Structure 1
Amino acid sequence: MTEIFDPRLFASVFITLFVIMDPPGTVPIFLGLTGAMTRKQRNRAAWQAVTVALGVIVSFAVFGQSILSYMHISLAALQASGGLLLLLIAMELLTGKMEEQQASPNAKVNVALVPLGTPLLAGPGAIVATMVFVKQADGTVGDWTAICLAIVAVHVSLYLAMRFANVIHRVLKDSGTILVTRIAGLLLAAIAVQLIADAVTAFVQQA
């Protein structure tokens, strides 16, 4: 069975990525970033965000180590840069600037691509974790099948969480969504600081 599919590796990859990418935790951030969108636009944004995240994860799983080696970039540097970017996004959520950008009729930035698709969903943690699993895999068909199916399963969970965010939006109303957005911004800021702290620790250990 393990020659075709390794259930233990599947469970390990799925649980790890599920915890890092946190489908339930993306709902308030998704609502905050898409608060000014219609239901149809929000559903399209969910699909686009998951597609972008899947593309980024798969790209780094296949080519990530080669790209970082070629550009002389360490995993710690990738983690630190992602943390700084997430911190900027958290500040916009906390101050309400993200809602102002979404409400602007001249806004040309598609938040489904950036920052939702990456680095919120396909962030440094998920990228690094995926690269580690690929590096530790034996290269057998069973390992690759397990890793691929686990990645797809996590992204299906992400899509379902955001797809039904409309139900949550109808329950919370606009004022409740704003409140949840501020809380999500605070939590996102904490995650960003932790990413930066972990990166600094890795830099110190490498020195």
Structure 2
Amino acid sequence: MFDVALFAEATITLLVIMDPPGTIPVFLSLTGRKSKQTRLGAARQAVLVSFLVISLFAVGGEVILRYLGIGIPALQGAGGLLLLLIALDLLTGRGSTEPEIAEDVNVALVPLGTPLLAGPGAIAATIVFVRQADGHLASYLALGAAIVAVHLFLWLCLRYSGAVIRFIKDSGITLLAKIAGLLLAAIAVQLVADSVRGFMAG
């Protein structure tokens, strides 16, 4: 048996939260001037990091948060502050002066792998779906398949985003960096606001 309803719900929810097309401007702003091989490696690493983080919280998210005494609002606040730092680097151009290796690591781990893809929203949604599964094997299989499907789509979006570079050139990449920085700043502020509301409600 396979829980088709849970698979569809989890896939759609995670796609909306993780927003694969929306990650393309951030990805290109950080890797657009690098070689194709470097971009492909960064895309693969970012998706792999996201997959591992989401899978980890699917398996033991509630136990981890309970053990550490961390609530979802705290997770949202930390993710928001981390994204805000990256957004400021993109907006001011300070990230372009860092060594190339550091940039590669940042692209794969921060902000793409986490917290932009595997962020507080995706983690919280995954934990909720695990609760919905309620110990049923068919539901767990459906949730696992949904997580794999979403990350496959994420990889495809990042894998073929390099085609955009041929049209936008260097000036377009610079513009994308500013737009991506603004979008990331807005997402960061929203995460912090959600965190504050969560603490007040709790």
TM tier relative to shorter chain: over 0.9
SS of the residue corresponding to residue 37 of structure 1 reads coil
Shift of 1:12: 0.7
More helix by share: 2
Matches within 5 A, 1:14-29: 14-29=11-26
Match of 1:39 in 2: 36
Deviations 1:94-142 (A, max 9, x none): 11122222xx357476121233211121111111111111122222121
Match of 1:98 in 2: 95
SS of the residue corresponding to residue 111 of structure 2 reads helix
**Given the two structures, how large is their TM-score scaled by the length of structure 2?**
0.95
Deviations 1:159-194 (A, max 9, x none): 001001110111111111111221111111111111
CA distance in 1: counterparts of 2:184 and 2:103, whole angstroms: 24
- Conserved in 2, the CA contact under 8 Å of 1:36 and 1:99? no
Amino acid at match of 1:43: L
Amino acid at match of 2:172: G
**Number of residue pairs aligned between Structure 1 and Structure 2:** 201
Match of 1:155 in 2: 151
Match 2:69 to one of 72, 76, 80: 72
Deviations 1:67-113 (A, max 9, x none): 11111111111111111111111111111122222xx3574761212
Amino acid at match of 1:114: V
Shift of 1:52: 0.7
Q: Which runs of 5+ in 2 are unaligned?
A: none
* Alpha-carbon distance change, 170 to 109 in structure 1, aligned in 2, over 3 angstroms: closer
CA distance in 2: counterparts of 1:27 and 1:197, whole angstroms: 25
CA distance in 1: counterparts of 2:135 and 2:170, whole angstroms: 49
SS of the residue corresponding to residue 66 of structure 1 reads helix
- Conserved in 1, the CA contact under 8 Å of 2:33 and 2:170? no
Match of 1:141 in 2: 137
- Conserved in 2, the CA contact under 8 Å of 1:23 and 1:157? yes
Matched, 1:110 2:105: yes
User: Taking every aligned residue pair, what percent have the same amino acid on both sides?
Assistant: 57
Matched, 1:88 2:80: no
* Alpha-carbon distance change, 34 to 85 in structure 1, aligned in 2, over 3 angstroms: same
**Given the two structures, how large is their TM-score scaled by the length of structure 1?**
0.92
CA distance in 2: counterparts of 1:69 and 1:155, whole angstroms: 27
CA distance in 1: counterparts of 2:197 and 2:134, whole angstroms: 29
Shift of 1:204: 0.5
